[in-house]
Amino acid sequence: MFVRLRYRVGAPGVGKGTFAKKISPHYGIPIMSTGDLVRNEISSGSALGAKIKAINDSGNLVGDDIIVEMAEGAMKSVKGGFILDGFPRTIAQAEAAEGFTKLDLVVNLMLPQEVLVEKTVNRRVCNDCGEGFNLANIVRDGMDMPALLPAVPGVCDKCGGDLVQRSDDTEEIVNNRLRVYDDETKPLVEFYRSRNLLTDFKIVKGIADLDRLIAAIDARTN
């Protein structure tokens, strides 16, 4: 199956990155994550990186012009389909994106707010390869999301690198990111629903929902 493009919307901590990493090999298309582009720019030590570091650290959104330029540049370098992770995040970005790309489907990943906080503050990522883990064990209210623990605490299963908490994953910053999500990003749900591009997807088992997610995507794109 040829999938040209997909976009995943969803609050911080919902698992956008984790699901994207799993469905990318399934469809054989790469991920374009603006969060990764932002973090790469910061670690490159560039003047732009220095400017956006404080914004990233506070959980606020980087300016639309900067992000749109980064996203457009990254998309131009990819031939064929790709998964957008975390872009667009504002109506202005979505309108700009319509000028240079066409989306096949937007997946709205859904989880209750208190679970998002618990999952996000318990997220750990590998400092070297970016592999994700989660220390939170959420088994209640119809949800069955066991922790994704590394075999050895603090050590990445994939490459042996150190597992760290992202600097914007503390409770205070996560709450700010969720406020920003409600104000700036949530309106995109109706924006894409009105274009008949949206599919809502309730997460109940975390990454074990992968097959159900792929079936939901196939049902809308085949």
Interface residues with ligand AMP (CB under 6 A) are: 12, 34-35, 38, 55-56, 59, 61-62, 67, 86-89, 93, 168, 177
Residue 166 is among the residues annotated as catalytic for this protein: yes
Of 15 and 160, nearer to ligand AMP (C-beta) is: 15
Of 168 and 209, nearer to ligand AMP (C-beta) is: 168
Quote the least distance from Cβ 180 to ligand AMP, whole Å: 7
Residue 22 is among the residues annotated as catalytic for this protein: no
Residue 6 is among the residues annotated as catalytic for this protein: no
Do strands 143-145 and 138-140 pair parallel, antiparallel, or not at all (unpaired)?
Answer: antiparallel
Quote the least distance from Cβ 57 to ligand AMP, whole Å: 8
Quote the least distance from Cβ 55 to ligand AMP, whole Å: 5
Which listed residue (16, 21, 39, 124) is catalytic? 16
Handedness of CA 19, 20, 26, 27 (dihedral sign): positive
Of 31 and 105, nearer to ligand AMP (C-beta) is: 31
- CA 129 to chain centroid, in Å, comes to 16
> What is the C-alpha separation between 138 and 142, in angstroms, rounded?
10
Quote the least distance from Cβ 12 to ligand AMP, whole Å: 5
> What is the C-alpha separation between 185 and 178, in angstroms, rounded?
10
Residue 8 is among the residues annotated as catalytic for this protein: no
> What is the C-alpha separation between 126 and 110, in angstroms, rounded?
25
> What is the C-alpha separation between 50 and 31, in angstroms, rounded?
25
Which listed residue (166, 186, 193, 220) is catalytic? 166
Which listed residue (8, 89, 119, 124) is catalytic? 89
> What is the C-alpha separation between 49 and 73, in angstroms, rounded?
16
Of 86 and 206, nearer to ligand AMP (C-beta) is: 86
Do strands 123-126 and 138-140 pair parallel, antiparallel, or not at all (unpaired)?
Answer: unpaired
Q: Which residues are known to be catalytic?
A: 16, 89, 123, 166, 177
